[in-house]
């Protein structure tokens, strides 16, 4: 199981691709045998894109992991496991506000601008102003994980790590639901394409902030119940 904060979008083609996680799997399988299973967990990488090819990225990651695995030692102590989840209601952006200026300043070509204009119209017709979704957290010993329902910006991932009580914490995006880009206040104020209102970017930045705070609360609750007190 490996966690990495980078978009899996380096291998563009007409086909579906496993991108760099697929390269990691193949390299690990070559090393450890055909029964090897790889589980990739994407970190907060909504605004982190690759600067090298997917094969090179996968090869570098697999080399690091193989070196670590070969040096690992048997662990005979007890490991605490825990999990928790919470249903929350997340407010959407205000679809009724005029988005013309935002769309024009986005830098997209005209045909993409038209797409976003249609997206606003569709969301206005649907009429939803919020969504119920799930925040999930779990732990393996003193390692904490928390997942969010969309593409989480790296700044939120850093905040989660800073405020988590666990020795190691891994924020995970695209967990169990999809509300699109999970933006920050700064991104909303600065503009660009990620905060443009669309079905690929539903939640307001305040809604994302709320989800992040709830995720941190879940981590703290897990830690207090399990790791701190030595309970299952």
What is the spatial distance between Cα 39 and Cα 121, in angstroms, rounded to a whole number? 39
Examine residue 21 and state whether it is found in any structural domain, yes or no. Answer: yes
Same domain, 55 and 141: no
| Domain stop point among 16, 39, 70 | 70
Same domain, 12 and 99: no
What is the spatial distance between Cα 147 and Cα 160, in angstroms, rounded to a whole number? 11
pLDDT at position 229, please?
A: 59
pLDDT at position 232, please?
A: 43
| Domain stop point among 70, 96, 129 | 70
Kindly state the tokens that stand for 156.
């939120």
Q: What is the extent of the structural domain holding 213?
A: 81-227
As for how many domains the chain has, the answer is: 2
Examine residue 90 and state whether it is found in any structural domain, yes or no. Answer: yes
Same domain, 57 and 119: no
Same domain, 92 and 194: yes
Same domain, 102 and 213: yes
Examine residue 76 and state whether it is found in any structural domain, yes or no. Answer: no
Same domain, 41 and 9: yes
pLDDT at position 228, please?
A: 60
Same domain, 90 and 189: yes
Kindly state the tokens that stand for 201.
């970017």
Biggest alpha carbon–alpha carbon distance for the chain: 61
Examine residue 75 and state whether it is found in any structural domain, yes or no. Answer: no
Same domain, 208 and 177: yes
pTM for this prediction: 0.90
pLDDT at position 73, please?
A: 82
Short-list 69, 81, 120, CA closest to 98: 120
Examine residue 232 and state whether it is found in any structural domain, yes or no. Answer: no
Same domain, 65 and 87: no
What is the spatial distance between Cα 144 and Cα 208, in angstroms, rounded to a whole number? 20
Walking along the chain (232 residues) 10 residues at a time, the average pLDDT comes out as 92 87 95 91 94 94 93 82 96 92 90 94 94 96 96 97 97 95 94 90 96 98 77 46
Short-list 40, 29, 41, 37, CA closest to 66: 29
pLDDT at position 227, please?
A: 63
Same domain, 133 and 211: yes
Same domain, 170 and 200: yes
Same domain, 90 and 19: no
| Domain stop point among 45, 70, 95 | 70
Judge whether 89 and 132 are in contact, CB under 8 Å. yes
Examine residue 117 and state whether it is found in any structural domain, yes or no. Answer: yes
């Amino acid at each position: 199981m490996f966690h990495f904060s980078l978009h899996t979008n380096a291998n563009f083609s007409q086909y579906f691709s496993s991108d760099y996680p697929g390269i990691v799997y193949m390299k690990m399988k070559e090393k450890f045998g055909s029964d090897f299973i790889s589980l990739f967990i994407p970190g907060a990488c909504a605004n982190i894109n690759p600067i090298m090819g997917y094969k090179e990225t996968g090869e570098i990651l697999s080399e690091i992991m193989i070196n670590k695995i070969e040096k690992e030692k048997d662990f005979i102590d007890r490991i605490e496991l825990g999990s928790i989840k919470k249903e929350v209601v997340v407010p959407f952006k205000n679809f009724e506000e005029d988005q013309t200026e935002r769309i024009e300043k986005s830098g997209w070509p005209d045909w993409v601008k038209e797409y976003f204009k249609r997206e606003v119209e569709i969301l206005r017709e649907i009429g939803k102003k919020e969504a119920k979704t799930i925040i999930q957290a779990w732990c393996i010993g003193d390692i904490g994980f928390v997942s969010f329902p969309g593409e989480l910006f790296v700044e939120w991932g850093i905040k989660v790590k800073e405020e988590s009580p666990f020795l190691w914490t891994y924020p995970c995006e695209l967990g169990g639901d999809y509300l699109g880009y999970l933006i920050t206040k700064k991104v909303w104020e600065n503009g660009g394409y990620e905060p443009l209102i669309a079905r690929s970017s539903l939640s307001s930045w305040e809604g994302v902030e709320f989800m992040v705070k709830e995720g941190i609360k879940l981590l703290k609750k897990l830690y207090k119940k399990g790791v701190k007190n030595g309970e299952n």
